[in-house]
Amino acid sequence: MSGALLEVRNLESYYGPVLAIRGISLDVQEGTIVTVLGANGAGKTTLLKTISGVLNPEKGAVRFAGEAIARKEPDAIVRRGIVHVPEGREIFPLLTVAQNLEMGAYCRADRGIAADISRVVDYFPILQERMAQPAGTLSGGQQQMLAVARGLMARPKLMLLDEPSLGLSPLLVRGIFNVIRRLNQERGISVLLVEQNARLALEVADFGYVMETGRIVLDGSTEALKESRDIQEFYLGGHQNSARGDRRWKRRKSWR
Amino acid sequence: MEDLQLMVGGLANGCVYGLIALGFVLIYKATEQVNFAQGDMMMLGAFIAIGLGNESHGGLPFWLACVGAVVIMAAFGMAMERTLLRPLFGQSQIAVVILTIAFGFVLRFIAGAIWGHDPLVMDHPIAGTHVTFGPVVLSADEIAVIAVTVLLTGLLYLFFSRTKLGIAMQAASQNQLAAYYMGIPVKRIHGLTWMLAGATAAAAGILFAAKGSVDPSAGLLGIKAFAAAVIGGFGSLPGALLGGLIIGLVEPFAARYVAAGYAQIAPYAVLILVLIFRPHGLFAQVSGKKL
């Protein structure tokens, strides 16, 4: 496959002393939502950090719109149109909501920033009321919204979203995922979504990869993945018949 | 009357402490490093201003000498970060502490080698003049020191609250990782913070020299400024200035009203009291992360 917006080829990357991703290749086609599923410690966050330039890969290549971007500085990568919305709402706690949003546009020099703030806040109306408040005083869900909104301020072509549902109530999770879908449809933003909530992720995404201990073990369109028995069993917690339940330990090995 | 004079003198000293403390806090907030050479950078700034401006040395006009000292020290701060501190990025705090203490000694000897170890006095337009309000006689240089500090504080406040670069500096100090994610060039921001700390040190040095004589060991009052920064919360810019003013005010009153020999410990007694009753300092910015 070539001509994808983001192409990752045979990427290997360390997280501290651990080789956390061990030869990953994946594609994000322009205008699609791609999800990466996997358990804790599978290397999903390391993958995103390597793409956004916060970590340098050991081996392998990352191409964005045809240009090699591995080992570039994070600001150079943001400037090219990739923005990483990290896990755990890494906002600037003592800056106001408005200042947080302005920092999202740090790499831009155009005059449309103020207009963009109101456009971005349309997606998250609650932020409008909190504009002058220090971001650290927002609730967890509002901080997550702020993190996504701040990422949008960079006018990304591709958003890397790391666990946007982490620690949020089901209702807020719905809200965030609806916004992700709207951003994709209305503004054509491509999304690489890392998520533990597989059911939701498969609902919103077009294509999915499954990661386990640093490798891709399964990929396919989300329709196909939803039908996959492994996915149903291990990620969706589907209802299995008893015979399958007995042989579970064998199936678990089948992805390696 | 006498108390008012003591107060003005104390405030003027406190302004110098406060500006040095500001340098400590600027660097600590941005990089989590403590620069124990900050006092010696102040001393160097004072000597550069004297070297450029005094009749016996460079002979430049006073204002030009001041600007020159600030620019040179700004470049010096940036160069210091690039050559000495950046290789230590990610190393333990103690390595940075030892490095900056040692570098402070180096600066002291360099200044001694260039300008000599005897006290020098800066030539400036209002040296020795007085302002009289009825029975109160105040020295003009002390009032000028306070006025200039107020002005600098205002400028710094505007810089940090209004400019994109200032807000980015705050952002990088509050959450370095998130700053990387937003494409804020964190390393360049660190360099610029050291530049600002160098410029602040030069300003403090010029103000210090305006009130009296300078010798290479003048930088040792950085210890008092460090105490001021701790009193203020070591992470708060207004706190650093306030801490400086408190120490500056405590000193002359203790010297006047407390038995000789005990007066020198007064600033540190204040420091200990603050640490006992407000362990995070007066302007603590401690906030737990929401989960």
The pLDDT value recorded for residue A2 is: 55
Range with the lowest mean pLDDT among A64-78, B107-121, B250-264?
Answer: B250-264
Q: Which of A48, A73, A103 to mutate to test the interface with B (most CBs of B within 10 A)?
A: A103
**What DSSP character marks residue B118?**
S
Mean pLDDT of A136-159: 92
Task: Give the C-alpha separation, B226 to B205, whole Å.
Answer: 16
pLDDT in tens, B234-275: 878 888 999 999 999 999 999 888 887 888 888 889 999 988
Task: Provide the domain limits for residue B87.
Answer: 16-218
Sole residue written with tokens 């038995």: B259
Are the beta carbons of B180 and A54 separated by less than 8 Å? yes
Interface contact B183-A106, CB threshold 8 A:
yes
Residues of chain B found within 8 Å of residue A55, distances taken between Cβ atoms: none
Say yes or no for a CB contact (<8 Å) between A74 and B183.
Answer: yes
Is B270 part of a structural domain of the chain?
A: no
Cβ of B164 within 8 Å of Cβ of A106? The answer is: yes
Q: Is residue B134 part of a domain?
A: yes
Percentage of chain B surpassing pLDDT 90? 56
Distance CA B280, CA B274 (A): 9
**CB–CB contact B182 A78 (8 Å):** yes
In chain B, which among 194-253 make CB contacts under 8 A with chain A? none
Residue A121 predicted with pLDDT over 70: yes
Q: What is the mean pLDDT of residues A119-131?
A: 91
Domain count, chain B: 1
**Which chain B residues are closer than 8 Å to A52 by Cβ?**
181
- Segments making up each domain of chain A, as ranges: 1-81+159-166+191-256
Does any domain span residue B289?
Answer: no
As a whole number of Å, the CA-based R_g of chain B is 19
pLDDT for residue B287 is more than 60: no
Measure CB to CB from residue A140 to each of B168, B185, B291 and give the nearest one.
B291
Q: Report the mean per-residue pLDDT for chain A.
A: 86
- The answer, yes or no, to whether residue A248 has pLDDT greater than 80, is no
B81, part of any domain? yes
Average pLDDT over residues A103-124: 89
Q: B291 contacts in A (CB within 8 Å)?
A: 140, 167
> Given this model, what pLDDT does residue B259 score?
82
B264 in a structural domain: no
Q: What pLDDT was estimated at residue A242?
A: 44
CATH number of A1-81+159-166+191-256: 3.40.50.300
Of A79, A91, A94, the CB nearest to B178: A91
Chain A residue with the nearest C-alpha to that of B178: A90
Higher pLDDT, B131 or A181: A181
Statement: residue A116 has pLDDT above 80: yes
Pairing of strands A207-212, A190-195: unpaired
Q: How confident is the model at residue B212 (pLDDT cuts 50, 70, 90)?
A: confident
- What's the mean pLDDT in A226-234? 77
A-chain residues within 8 Å CB-CB of B177?
54, 86, 90
| 3 state SS for chain A | CCCCCEEEEEEEEEECCEEEEEEEEEEECCCCEEEEEECCCCCHHHHHHHHCCCCCCCEEEEEECCEECCCCCHHHHHHHCEEEECCCCCCCCCCEHHHHHHHHCCCCCCCCHHHHHHHHHHHCHHHHHCCCCEHHHCCHHHHHHHHHHHHHCCCCCEEEEECCCCCCCHHHHHHHHHHHHHHHHHHCCEEEEEECCHHHHHHHCCEEEEEECCEEEEEEEHHHHHHCHHHHHHCCCCCCCHHHHHCHHHHHHCCC
Largest CA distance in chain B: 63
Q: What pLDDT shows up at residue A112?
A: 86
Task: Provide ipTM, 2 decimals.
Answer: 0.82
Q: What is the pLDDT of residue A239?
A: 53
CB proximity B179 to A under 8 Å: yes
pLDDT 10s digits, A192-225: 999 888 888 999 999 999 998 888 988 989 888 8
pLDDT tens per residue, range B67-81: 999 999 999 999 999
Lowest-pLDDT choice from A87-101, B51-65, B276-290? B276-290
Contact A43, A57 (CB under 8 A): no
Give the residue with greater pLDDT, B107 vs A233: B107
pTM of this prediction? 0.83
Q: How confident is the model at residue A253 (pLDDT cuts 50, 70, 90)?
A: very low
Range in A141-150, B98-107, B245-254, B281-290 the model is least confident about: B281-290
Of A213, A216, A207, A210, the closest CA to residue A236 belongs to: A210
Query: Mean pLDDT across the stretch B208-224?
Result: 91
Q: How many CB atoms lie within 10 A of CB B164?
A: 14
CA distance B74 to chain A (A): 24
- Residue A243, pLDDT above cutoff 70: no
| CA–CA–CA angle A118, A120, A124 (5° rounding) | 100
The confidence band for B284, taking pLDDT boundaries of 50, 70 and 90, is low
The nearest CA of chain B is from the CA of A140 a distance in Å of: 7
Q: Is pLDDT of B168 > 50?
A: yes
Contact A74 B287 (CB under 8 A): no
Of A78, A92, A139, which is closest to B175 when you measure between CB atoms? Answer: A92
Q: Is B165 on the interface with A (CB under 8 A)?
A: no
Residue from the list B167, B180, B285 with its beta carbon closest to the beta carbon of A95:
B167
